[in-house]
Amino acid sequence: MILIADCGSTKIDWCLLNGKEKVAQIFTTGMNALMLTQEEMTQRIHDELMPHIVSYKVDEIYYYGAGIISDEIKNNVVNALKANITTATKVEVASDLLAAARALCGHEPGIACIMGTGSNSCYYDGENVVDNVSPLGFILGDEGSGAVLGKLLVGDVLKKQLPEDICQKFLEEYDTDRTKIITAVYRQPAANRYLAKFAPFLQKYADVPEIHDLVLRSFTAFFKRNVANYPNYQNLPCNFVGSIAHYQKAVLVEAAQALGITIGHIIQTPMEGLIKFHAN
């Protein structure tokens, strides 16, 4: 059997395959391998995943995850998986960017992008990620991501750059105020996830001109600061995976068309594409 993991900072989507048949799908707490020790990952897999798959014999594992930026981190994940799943004879650990590329492009070349809590992009030649503009995280980059959209929204609310009724609705709907927001952003962990949780507000009030402009500007920045750095980007399909791209598809297409960029596939999660890739 094959076990596929699509791991983000918020959640992990695990899928167990027997040939092309989906045997089980499990969701557990997210893991960023850059921020967790090998021991912490081992324990989390033991506690949250193993009770669901202990009766199955897993032969191969394909783990795609956030924070896989070095061989050392990759080996930590491999060891954490092997410590729990001792039957696996093949364990492949790769970045969530390769997951996006395989899910979106299969074996065809193209530009693959992630636009969820964070954002990222790459040029994929049909087999490998051959070029990547560093996303830099939500403080220095991550244009178009849920975290950055949330950051821009919160800033505009607190600085009264949006219509007064929209500012008031935001504070009421999230039962928050300036002090709570600043405390969460500057004094609590995972500020990126905290800010990203406000992204649905932007979709709910998408018809407000100031909200539309905020999202459009951030998506335009994503294309200009990331996609436009890849050679021949205007002649390749630009594909997206992630909740932000999925729910804000219309504005994403609007930003792309203004820059002469062709949008390819837009999917909410990579798992179905990964199942197709590995089942074949």
In the structure encoding, which two tokens stand for residue 183, read together? 């405390």
Tell me, what's the pLDDT at 202?
Answer: 97
Q: What's the CA gap between 73 and 96, in Å, rounded? A: 14
Q: What's the CA gap between 243 and 126, in Å, rounded? A: 24
Residue 78 CA, chain-centre distance (Å), reads 21
Given a cut of 70, the residues of the chain with pLDDT beneath it are: none
Q: Which of 215, 231, 227 is nearest to 262 (CA)?
A: 227
> How crowded is residue 106: how many other Cβ atoms within 10 Å of its Cβ?
15
Q: What's the CA gap between 21 and 110, in Å, rounded? A: 28
Give strand ranges (E) for 9-133.
Answer: 11-18, 21-29, 60-65, 90-95, 110-115, 119-124, 129-131
Question: Could you give the domains of the chain?
Answer: 2-88 (3.30.420.40), 107-269 (3.30.420.40)
Tell me, what's the pLDDT at 52?
Answer: 95
Tell me, what's the pLDDT at 268?
Answer: 93
Tell me, what's the pLDDT at 31?
Answer: 86
Q: What's the CA gap between 257 and 250, in Å, rounded? A: 11
What are the tens digits of pLDDT across the range 82-106? 999 999 999 999 998 999 999 999 9
